[in-house]
Each structure stands twice: as structure tokens, then as C-alpha cells.
């Protein structure tokens, strides 16, 4: 890794972390979805302002999603996120497992994923994951080979109820020759989604 690419990676992580720390001061609305009770823990795409989106883009992030956690339970002390890569409809590998262990009264606030194109090597894609709590931020990243000739699209699930120990599909980054198939719900349309040539599924899990 060159000094220039290392500094750019560090800048991206710092800007995303700074945004998340500032955003954690916002009041969270626990009544976004009437199908969830006020005591349920849920995870939802964050409602970002134009200024917040522009702040993230300063670091060179071109495709990202930020998720906020609503009503985090004190019992959930371990949060893990990772990316599953599917090729030809089959799971090829899992990338970048990132786990945060909450201490004391610390609570989970935000989880984010960014997929960035390399300006130096068009055959490379970097994925950056972040987990933010009241007091700290954890980041993990990895670089994967890709085909620059493939068309790209992405989609994120909206608000979902958190069930302890259950994998949650947060976002999908899709690459395909020609058109790409995109659906509003990742889990309900997984069979059709995986008909695309390459699919990254960003996932998380809450555990006691």
C-alpha cells in the first residue's frame, strides 16, 4: 500500500467516524414504524440531511449506507457485521468480520457500510464497515477484486426488528453484466437477487 492510498483510506475512515459521532447526538424517533412496539429494538436506514451526505462524500465515499439503531437493548452486548460475497448464486466467501463488545452502559448507535472504487486500479473495490456506540467507533475494511465492465447497483432494507442471534440483511451491492435486478426487500427476494453475477450482502447480528 502506498503512502498516498493509506492517507486517503485514513481520511475516509476519519470523516465517516466524525459524521457518525456528530449524528449520534440526534434524538431518535422510536415510532417510525407502527408495526413495531415502542420497546422493540430495530435497525433502520438513517435519515441523512444534504449537508451530512456531502460531508461523507468529502472523503471520496461514492456508495454507502448508514443504519441507526432504535431502542438498543442493554442485553445486546455483542454486535457483529460482515459481508457475504455470492457469485453465480452461490456463497463464495465472507469478508471483514467486525465485532464490537459493549461495556457497562454503552449502547450501539450506528452501523455503516461503504463500497468505494479505486481511482488507481479499476479492478479493485474497497469495503469499509463501521460500528458506532455512545463512546467509541470501530472500523474494518478489505479490498476485493472486481470486473470494471460489470454494471453496478445497490439497495438497503428499511426498518427491521432486531431478533437476538439472528442474521440481519442490511444492504446489497450488486454487479452484473448488462442490467441488474434490484428489489426493495433483500431477504424476501434473495433467490431473484442472487441471479445477478456478483452480489455483496452486508449483514449484522446482535447477541447477548
CA pair distance 74, 105, nearest whole angstrom? 7
In the block, residue with C-alpha cell 453465480 = 88
CA pair distance 57, 62, nearest whole angstrom? 6
CA pair distance 43, 27, nearest whole angstrom? 15
In the block, residue with C-alpha cell 450506528 = 110
Q: In the chain, which ranges are E strands?
A: 42-45, 64-70, 78-87, 90-101, 108-117, 124-133, 137-145, 151-156, 160-161, 168-176, 198-207
Structural domains of the chain, count: 1
Q: Does some domain include residue 35?
A: no
Q: What is the pLDDT of residues 186-206, one digit of tens each?
A: 888 888 889 899 999 999 999
User: CA torsion 74→80→81→87, rounded to 10°?
Assistant: -140
Q: What is the pLDDT of residues 86-123, one digit of tens each?
A: 999 999 999 889 999 988 788 888 999 988 877 677 78
Q: What is the pLDDT of residues 130-156, one digit of tens each?
A: 998 888 888 888 888 888 888 888 889
Residues pairing with 202 in the sheet: 83, 171
Q: Does some domain include residue 145?
A: yes
Q: Does some domain include residue 200?
A: yes
Q: Does some domain include residue 99?
A: yes
Question: What range does the domain containing 152 cover?
Answer: 3-25+41-207
Q: Does some domain include residue 17?
A: yes
Q: What is the pLDDT of residues 2-54, one digit of tens each?
A: 444 444 455 555 555 555 545 544 443 433 444 566 678 999 998 888 887 77
Q: Cα-atom radius of gyration of the chain, to the nearest Å?
A: 17
Quote the pLDDT of residue 35: 59
Name the pLDDT band for 60 (thresholds 50, 70, 90). Answer: low
Question: How many CB atoms sit inside 10 A of residue 178's CB?
Answer: 8
Task: Report residue 208 as a C-alpha cell.
Answer: 447477548
Could you tell me the pTM of the whole model?
Answer: 0.80
The three-state secondary structure class of 70 is: strand
Query: Beta strands 64-70 and 42-45: pairing type?
Result: antiparallel
The three-state secondary structure class of 95 is: strand
Q: Does some domain include residue 54?
A: yes
Q: Does some domain include residue 202?
A: yes
Amino acid at each position: 500500500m502506498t503512502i498516498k492510498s493509506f492517507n486517503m483510506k485514513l481520511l475516509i475512515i476519519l470523516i465517516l467516524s466524525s459524521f457518525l459521532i456528530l449524528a449520534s447526538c440526534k434524538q431518535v424517533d422510536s415510532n417510525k414504524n407502527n408495526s413495531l412496539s415502542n420497546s422493540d429494538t430495530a435497525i433502520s436506514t438513517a435519515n441523512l440531511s444534504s449537508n451530512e451526505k456531502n460531508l461523507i462524500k468529502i472523503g471520496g465515499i461514492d456508495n454507502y449506507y448508514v443504519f441507526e439503531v432504535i431502542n438498543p437493548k442493554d442485553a445486546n452486548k455483542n454486535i457483529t457485521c460482515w459481508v457475504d460475497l455470492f457469485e453465480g448464486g452461490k456463497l463464495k466467501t465472507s469478508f471483514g468480520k467486525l465485532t464490537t463488545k459493549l461495556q457497562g452502559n454503552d449502547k450501539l448507535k450506528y452501523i455503516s457500510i461503504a463500497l468505494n472504487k479505486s481511482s488507481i486500479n479499476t479492478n479493485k473495490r474497497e469495503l469499509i464497515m463501521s460500528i458506532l456506540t455512545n463512546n467509541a467507533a470501530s472500523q474494518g475494511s478489505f479490498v476485493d477484486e472486481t470486473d470494471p465492465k460489470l454494471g453496478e447497483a445497490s439497495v438497503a432494507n428499511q426498518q427491521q426488528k432486531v431478533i437476538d442471534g439472528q442474521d440481519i440483511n442490511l444492504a446489497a451491492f450488486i454487479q452484473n453484466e448488462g442490467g441488474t435486478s434490484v428489489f426493495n426487500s433483500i431477504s424476501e427476494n434473495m433467490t431473484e437477487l442472487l441471479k445477478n453475477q456478483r452480489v455483496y450482502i452486508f449483514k449484522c447480528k446482535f447477541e447477548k
